[in-house]
Amino acid sequence: MATFSDEQKLPGPIYVYQIPVRIWHWLHALSIGALIVTGYFIASPLPSVSGEASDHFVMGTLRLVHFSSAFVFAIGLFVRFYLALTGNRYARELIIVPVWRGKFWRHVWHEIKFYAFVTRKARKNIGHNPLAQLFMWMINIALALFMVCTGFALYSQGTGAGSWADSLFGWVFVLEASSQTVRMWHLMGMWLMLLFIIIHIYMVIRADFASRQNGTSAMISGWRTFKDDGPIKPQ
Amino acid sequence: MSAHETFYEVMRRHGITRRSFLKFCSLTAAGLGLGPEFAGRIAHALETKPRTPVIWLHGLECTCCTESFIRSGNPLAGDVVLSMISLDYDDTLMAAAGHQAEELLQQTVEKYDGEFILACEGNPPLNEDGMYCIQAGKPYVEKLRYMADHCKAIIAWGSCASWGCVQAAKPNPTKAMPIHKVILDKPVIKVPGCPPIAEVMTGVITYMLAFDRLPPLDRQGRPKMFYGQRLHDKCYRRPHFDAGQFVEKFDDEGARKGYCLYKMGCKGPTTYNACSTIEWNGGLSWPVKSGHGCLGCAEEDFWDKGSFYSPVSNLNVTGNVEATANKIGGTLAAAAAIGVAAHAAATVVQKVTAKKPPVSEEVSNG
């Protein structure tokens, strides 16, 4: 696929998010939603239920949903890496951030100015805008891997020594021996994820109104549409 | 005392009958989770192996480990263990004192160089060249290093020796250090707990003496047979946890019914120890059985994590700033929500005040 220069006019809508990437996005979003809700209530349980213990499975169900969603999240992440290898160039944006390019940082700076209302001139962005790409990587790669590692390490406490979770993720407790602290960092990660969700949803909806391209619909149809046919670089 | 004297000979010399000896062997095998045939192997080992002396050192500590140890009901410490482990030196328990006592240390080093087991209760403070703990006119850390140089293996008794415990709590003015951070060239077996369970202590030491090797250890260096599972995994209140039945206050209906103490800050779900199986004082009780949550005393830094009565404990975020993840995260999320609202308002204002929409000259709804 061709790259577009700053001065070039775009031919029209561009197909950006392929079907597997879109499916992954929504599954990922759903799993995060379930993980946040159940995770919060595992740390701070719901009010006590009365009656026989054998009649209820509140905490057990919360944990079951949490662990199931965690598998969707973790396996999804794994699949997402595969999609980056096989998908189009936009599928790689999440994984590979061109931090070694000066142009990338200049565009990050431009986006910061744009969001800080310093400039009204918006660049057209086909995939992610550079600032968004940077944060996407921090959250959906760095933080997500952190949550997978700490999460499965905590999961291994239940599956026990010698289990696959223990063999693969038990090393977390070598870095931090206190599992209570690992739990608390995992909980902190949940809040950062929530923070990201708030900002992400706002930014996408804002893009629908105040940028030069579409936001929400791109992750539904896969097509990036533009509101003007000017070149990428603002006039 | 011949270097070739066996454990059995030592025990018989201390007036222990063969019957008691065999009882001890089978109880120990059971305590270690071994099959019945191992009772005979333990007996055989103790009958044929030359005894391994144990030197028990005390650094900065409260002696709760010793207090726990001498209450071992199974095997009975007084009857069997003290003679069996041939405790050649223990400042608290030995009859000798002063120069006599220090002489014993020297004798052991000379006679059993590289052979004896060093059991450390408490830890050495490193600040001011170790001046916060002086024994026989010398800093304890020097004594520890000297003995560690000549021992075969080290047992770190209790949370002090294993993790640092209260004397290492922030800001740790004496720079008290756990054994494994001071002695780097010898295997250190951590037996954490404040104190550890008596039967765990005697079990670990018996294993080492009877089988002449280190017990299987987990990643943190704790014996797997006693620290392989969390209290939570074997807690008799676990069904109430899974059901979602919690004690909300110490005097509520749930407390009377024996519901799960997780909401009262029980650290059972994150604490590796054998309390919920072996229990304390000869199987009499343990914290959760008595209606109070686990403090997590066998875990690293349990003293530095804020309230014992909240399941969400403190995180040390930067330097001295400590708060719970919920507090930090909740504040951040609220700030983000406010920031987003303000930014949205500013966006609207920008749109409204713009004479023309940004770069809208060429709009063609492409």
Pairing of strands B314-318, B138-139: unpaired
How far is it, in rounded angstroms, from Cα B330 to Cα A151? 20
Q: Which domains does chain B have, with CATH numbers?
A: 51-227 (3.40.50.700), 231-309 (4.10.480.10)
Query: Chain A window 63-122: which residues touch B at a Cβ cutoff of 8 Å?
Result: 115, 117, 120-122
Residue A158 and residue B233: Cβ atoms within 8 Å? yes
pLDDT attached to residue A12: 80
Residue B343 and residue A115: Cβ atoms within 8 Å? yes
Residue B245 and residue A192: Cβ atoms within 8 Å? no
pLDDT in tens, A172-210: 998 888 899 999 999 999 999 999 999 999 999 988 887
| CA-based nearest residue to B362, from A9, A117, A215 | A9
For an interface test with B, give the residue of A37, A44, A180, A201 to mutate (most B CBs within 10 A). Answer: A180
Considering CB atoms only, which of A117, A161, A178 is closest to B301? A178
pLDDT attached to residue B95: 79
Cα torsion through A174, B234, B247, A184, rounded to 10: 10
pLDDT attached to residue A8: 76
Q: Looking at residues A7-27, what average pLDDT do you find?
A: 87
Contacts of B29 (CB under 8 A, 6+ apart): B35, B36, B38, B39, B41, B42
pLDDT attached to residue A89: 86
Match 């994984």 to its residue by tokens: A95
Q: What is the model's pTM?
A: 0.89
Distance from CA of A185 to the nearest CA of B (A): 7
- What does the angle CA B330 – CA A112 – CA A80 come to, to the nearest 5 degrees? 70
pLDDT attached to residue B354: 76
Distance from CA of B185 to the nearest CA of A (A): 19
Quick check: A63 pLDDT over 60? Answer: yes
pLDDT attached to residue B320: 67
Quick check: A1 pLDDT over 50? Answer: no
pLDDT attached to residue B359: 54
Answer for the pair B155, B116: CB distance below 8 angstroms, yes or no.
Answer: no
How far is it, in rounded angstroms, from Cα B366 to Cα A125? 15
Say yes or no: A59 contacts chain B, CB-CB below 8 A: yes
Which tokens go with B211? 């089988």
Considering CB atoms only, which of A60, A180, A235 is closest to B267? A180
pLDDT attached to residue B150: 93
Residue A174 and residue B219: Cβ atoms within 8 Å? yes
Q: Looking at residues A206-219, what average pLDDT do you find?
A: 84
Q: Which residues does chain B have within 8 Å of residue A62's beta carbon, measured at their own beta carbons?
A: 244
Residue A235 and residue B361: Cβ atoms within 8 Å? yes
Cβ count within 10 A of residue B244 = 23
Q: Which domains does chain A have, with CATH numbers?
A: 14-45+57-224 (1.20.950.20)
Residue B270 and residue A202: Cβ atoms within 8 Å? no
Tens-of-pLDDT digits for all 366 residues of chain B? 445 678 788 778 877 788 888 887 888 788 777 888 888 888 888 888 777 888 999 999 999 998 898 887 766 665 555 566 667 788 888 878 888 888 888 988 998 888 889 999 999 999 999 999 998 889 999 999 999 999 999 999 999 999 999 999 988 999 999 999 999 999 999 999 999 998 898 888 878 877 788 999 999 999 998 999 999 999 999 999 999 999 999 999 999 999 999 999 999 999 999 999 989 988 889 999 999 999 999 999 898 888 899 888 888 766 667 788 888 888 999 999 999 999 999 888 888 887 665 554 444 443
Distance from CA of B282 to the nearest CA of A (A): 27
Query: What are the helix (H) ranges across chain A?
Result: 19-43, 58-86, 102-115, 130-137, 144-159, 164-169, 172-175, 179-210, 218-221
pLDDT in tens, A124-156: 888 888 899 999 999 999 999 999 999 999 999
For an interface test with A, give the residue of B242, B257, B332 to mutate (most A CBs within 10 A). Answer: B242
pLDDT attached to residue B213: 86
Q: Burial code of B245-275, b = ≥16 C-beta within 10 A, e = fewer? A: bbbeeeeeebbeebbbbbbbbbbbbbbbbbb
Distance from CA of A92 to the nearest CA of B (A): 26
Say yes or no: A7 contacts chain B, CB-CB below 8 A: no
In this prediction the ipTM stands at 0.90
Cβ count within 10 A of residue A174 = 9
Partnered with residue B119 across adjacent β-strands are B56, B155
